[in-house]
Amino acid sequence: MPIVKADRLTDIATQLLVVSGASKAEAACVAKGCVLANLTGHDSHGVIAIPTYIDRVHKGHIVPGAPFTVVQETATTTVVDGNWGFGFAVAERAMKLTIEKANKSNVAATTILRQSHVGRVGAYPIMAAKEGMIAIMTADSGRSPKAVAPFGGAEARVGTNPLAIAIPSNLAGAFCLDMATSSVAAGKINLAIAKGIKIPTGWIVDKNGNPTTDPNDFKNGGVLLPLGGDEGHKGYGLSAMIEILSAILPGLGFGVDPTGRHNDGCFVACFKVEAFRPLETFKKEVTEFAHYLKATKPQKGVKEVLYPGEVEWMKEQDRSKNGIEVDEKTWKQFHDIAKKHGIEDKIKV
Ligand SMILES: NC(=O)c1ccc[n+]([C@@H]2O[C@H](COP(=O)([O-])OP(=O)(O)OC[C@H]3O[C@@H](n4cnc5c(N)ncnc54)[C@H](O)[C@@H]3O)[C@@H](O)[C@H]2O)c1
């Protein structure tokens, strides 16, 4: 598998998106977001998704150059319509707007509708944490195809419905919880298919409701289970709430649109720490709290206790230095796209 440095991979992904119709700014934003997902260890949301995004552009499901429309707003609230633009570009701009409003008014919340996939959700609240804010972001799949069964159900009715919360601190990595409310993110199944490896039991059931370790069973009518295994009612409950915040509140509705158009409805909320406590005191205490957690005696077989977000930070250190492994299937797709547009020489590593 090719191992590529982050800068070069960003450049390659940007070029592929530009020749496929994205503007330079959109392409750079999507490529940066995907490569950051790879850097932080979330290959399922990394450059593996670029061919899918390009395919969606060709299908008209993603609209390059789509306007960013504020449908409704107050000093503290905004409803954004992305008009089917690239989710990375729409969500980044919406998060910047929310940060601006929270900077002035201490709290701000935004809903986003009609945009494509936003990738690794944690990336957006981390932007606000860097500005001294606690930020929450949820995403659902709007009325696009569902992948997760409600607790006790044998059919998909909800998305993987991720939740991310980021907190300012003085830690080297971001103190950030960023998680799907399904057993795993659907992208991890696709990654297992791309790598030709088995998945653990408990991630999915096949089309007949039987446990399976074959990731291909997911594509063949299988379904993801909610987070929590036997206690999956809690993951399911979280998922249902996220669906309401990210789909019903923005006005996307629920259920599945027959066109199969992918949509990430989002809810974003930012809280300026200074409105509650002095920022530096808060950051110091969060940092001390993380060290307190990390000082816990580990269980047998566990190397160390980590704070939320630390795994991603450790991966980022490693991959920034040593490069990102791109799976063969994705690399071949890159070559096919480059060949189609006569730019093979531009994606050499
Ligand atoms: N855009 C979308 O539609 C969408 C949908 C689903 C998921 N996603 C993204 O997929 C990515 C993967 O989600 P996931 O649920 O598989 O994440 P995950 O299970 O890898 O990690 C979830 C959380 O647990 C923390 N964590 C992991 N190992 C830990 C440990 N040993 N100790 C302490 N904390 C630990 C991580 O820092 C993270 O905050 C996320 O970035 C998510 O935003 C996106």
pLDDT tens digits, residue range 273-322? Answer: 999 999 999 999 999 999 999 999 999 999 999 999 999 999 999 999 99
Indicate where the chain has its CATH 3.30.1370.60 domain(s): 65-183+225-297+299-308
Angle value at C-alpha 238, between 237 and 242, nearest 5 degrees: 120
Class of domain 65-183+225-297+299-308: alpha beta
Q: Is residue 230 predicted with pLDDT exceeding 90? A: no
pLDDT reported for residue 277: 98
pLDDT reported for residue 142: 80
As a whole number, mean pLDDT of residues 26-51 equals 97
From 141-150, 210-219, 220-229, 286-295, the region with the lowest mean pLDDT: 141-150
pLDDT reported for residue 27: 98
Q: Which residue has the higher pLDDT, 168 or 152?
A: 168
Using a 6 Å cutoff on CB, does residue 168 contact ligand 1?
Answer: no
Percentage of residues of the chain with pLDDT beyond 70: 100
Whole-number CA gyration radius for the chain: 20
Residue 74 alpha carbon to ligand 1 centre in Å: 32
CB-CB contact of 202 with 211 (8 Å):
yes
As a whole number, mean pLDDT of residues 204-226 equals 93
Percentage of residues of the chain with pLDDT beyond 90: 87
Mutational pocket test of ligand 1: of 52, 311, 314, the residue with most ligand atoms within 8 Å of the beta carbon: 311
50-59 helix and 24-39 helix, angle to the nearest 10 degrees: 150
B/e letters for 48-72, b = 16+ CB within 10 Å, e = fewer, are: bbbbbbbebbeeebbbbebebeeee
Residue 44, CB-side half-sphere exposure with 13 Å CA sphere:
15
Task: For residue 44, count CB atoms less than 10 angstroms from its CB and return exposed for 0-12, middle for 13-18, buried for 19 or more.
Answer: buried
6-19 helix and 328-340 helix, angle to the nearest 10 degrees: 40
pTM over 0.85: yes
Using a 6 Å cutoff on CB, does residue 33 contact ligand 1?
Answer: no
As a whole number, mean pLDDT of residues 264-268 equals 96
Residue 185 alpha carbon to ligand 1 centre in Å: 8
Q: Is residue 144 predicted with pLDDT exceeding 90? A: no
What is the pLDDT confidence band of residue 153, given thresholds at 50, 70 and 90?
Answer: confident
| CA–CA separation, 222 and 183 (whole Å) | 14
Return the ligand 1 atom nearest residue 187 CA: 10
| CA–CA separation, 31 and 12 (whole Å) | 8
What is the pLDDT confidence band of residue 341, given thresholds at 50, 70 and 90?
Answer: very high
Q: Residue 133 — φ and ψ, nearest 5°?
A: -120, 150
Mean model confidence pLDDT for the chain: 95
| CA–CA separation, 268 and 79 (whole Å) | 10
What's the CATH number for 1-59+309-349?
1.10.1530.10
Indicate where the chain has its CATH 1.10.1530.10 domain(s): 1-59+309-349
What is the pLDDT confidence band of residue 229, given thresholds at 50, 70 and 90?
Answer: confident
Tokens 């990430």 belong to residue: 264
**Tens-place pLDDT, residues 68-112:** 999 999 999 999 999 999 999 999 999 999 999 999 999 999 999
